[in-house]
Homo-oligomer: A and B are copies of this chain.
């Protein structure tokens, strides 16, 4: 049986670090604060928001919610966003996306001050991930993968890491973060030839394809560590599942992060740590 890389312990460790930093910041008269922008009441958004609010409360980060009806004008939304950008007591801004289709997502996303872009969605944040500079923040899910590997003391230096998926939310940024840790990184995708052959040679396999249970035993080897970033709904079994066919793979690898209870349990802790870090950078 593989070692289970659970997210809860990772999130708790990140939170503890955040609590310590918040305490230090408060001694310096700084109260870290997150502004949340949400349009409408999508269940996914509400669920993530509840998690983020709870996490902020535990850590001592204040929250300000900008909540808009579905029919809000882009101008009103933009004005409030600019208000939050200018407000020195707000350190982080989270926008729930996708926004209504009539909105200019690109413009709004890039309107967030990079130093407040705690969810890493602006072009300059991504430029920072690419160039390895503190222009903004890495996307939370990508950062969560690195946090998990660090927490379980999985050495990355010189290791062959295969990342399946090349999205801007996970695949590409996590590849850059792992490269920074001196891993040798192979980026695969739907057009890659003979994926199982490539994946099964990896020391560490990061699955971020978004296809339910696609990764079976043909993709793995007994010494492999698997990080499953996928969060998919399995209609047949009526339950959440990852990109990995957990039952098929679990006995055939060294370690694996479960879904649920893996990477998904870390992302809000990372988000809040980014808010704390954003406040910290201002000292």
Contact = CB atoms under 8 A, between A and B. Distances in A.
A185 B187 contact: yes
Interface stretch (A22-30, A121-129, A208-216, A248-256): A121-129
Contact of A127 (B123, B158, B182, B185): B123
A172 to B, nearest CB: 6
Interface stretch (A3-11, A189-197, A235-243): A189-197
Contact of A123 (B131, B172, B175): B131
Contact of A160 (B129, B166, B179, B198): B198
B179 A184 contact: no
B126 A191 contact: no
Contacts of A179: 166, 172, 187, 189
Nearest to A173: B130
A191 B123 contact: no
A44 to B, nearest CB: 24
A13 interface: no
What is the count of identical protomers in the complex?
2
Contacts of A182: 189, 191
Contacts of A126: 127, 130-131
Contacts of A159: 193
A133 B109 CA distance: 14
Contacts of A129: 130
Nearest to A198: B184
A203 to B, nearest CB: 9
A168 interface: yes
A111 interface: no
A187 B184 contact: yes
A168 B130 CA distance: 8
A119 to B, nearest CB: 15
A171 B184 CA distance: 13
A188 interface: yes
A164 to B, nearest CB: 10
A130 B139 CA distance: 14
Contact of A184 (B133, B172, B184, B189): B189
A135 B123 contact: yes
A157 interface: yes
Interface string A5-47: 0000000000000000000000000000000000000000000
- By Cβ-Cβ distance, the 7 closest A-B pairs, closest first, are A127-B127, A158-B193, A182-B191, A186-B186, A130-B130, A184-B192, A123-B127
9 contacts: A123-B128, A123-B135, A126-B130, A126-B131, A184-B186, A184-B188, A185-B187, A186-B186, A187-B187
